[in-house]
Every structure is written in structure tokens, then in C-alpha cells.
Amino acid sequence: MNNPIKPLVWVASSRKDLKAMPDDVQDLFGYALYLAQIGKKHEQAKPLKGFGSASITTPKPDLDLIHERLKEAERFARGP
């Protein structure tokens, strides 16, 4: 059974960035992208976190650390 090839959409400068890489890297990425287009996964590919059923988590700012850094910056600005 043949898998239909899904379209590949280049975002921002991704295609230009890939073309700037060495030929062997381009070949590897090209093959990995082809496998993804037909619904398969390259052995070296890793899924991005935060897509599909995965959730994106962002750390909450450490307010104590931020406060301490602001105090240090203030001391530095005052000088010795």
C-alpha cells in the first residue's frame, strides 16, 4: 500500500538554512523529511515536545532569584 506524500511547508528561513548546510547533512534531513511526509519516522528523529497531545510547560519565574539579581544590579550601579 502506497502512502500519500504530505506537503512540506517551509517556515521562515528554514529551507535557506538547510541549503547552507553540508551536502551530507542536507541528504540526511531530506530523507528524514521524506519519511515524515509519508508518515514514518527516521531512526534519529525525535518528536518536538508541546505538539499534539503533549503539553507545553513553561517554568514560572523564580521571584526570589529575580529580586536578588535586581538588588545586585542596584549595588553594582552604585559602585564601590
DSSP for 7-26, written as a single string: P----TTHHHHHHTS-HHHH
User: Whose CA is closest to 9, among 48, 37, 39, 35?
Assistant: 37
Average pLDDT over every residue of 23-52: 80
Please state, for a pLDDT cut of 70, what percent of the chain lies above it. Answer: 65
d(CA 34, CA 22): 18
Q: Which of 55 and 76 is assigned the larger pLDDT?
A: 76
- The pLDDT-based confidence of 5 (bands split at 50, 70, 90) is very high
Q: What is the pTM assigned to this prediction?
A: 0.56
- Structural domain boundaries in the chain: 14-78
> At residue 36, does pLDDT exceed 60?
yes
Q: Which of 16 and 44 is assigned the larger pLDDT?
A: 16
- What is residue 50's predicted lDDT score, i.e. its pLDDT? 59
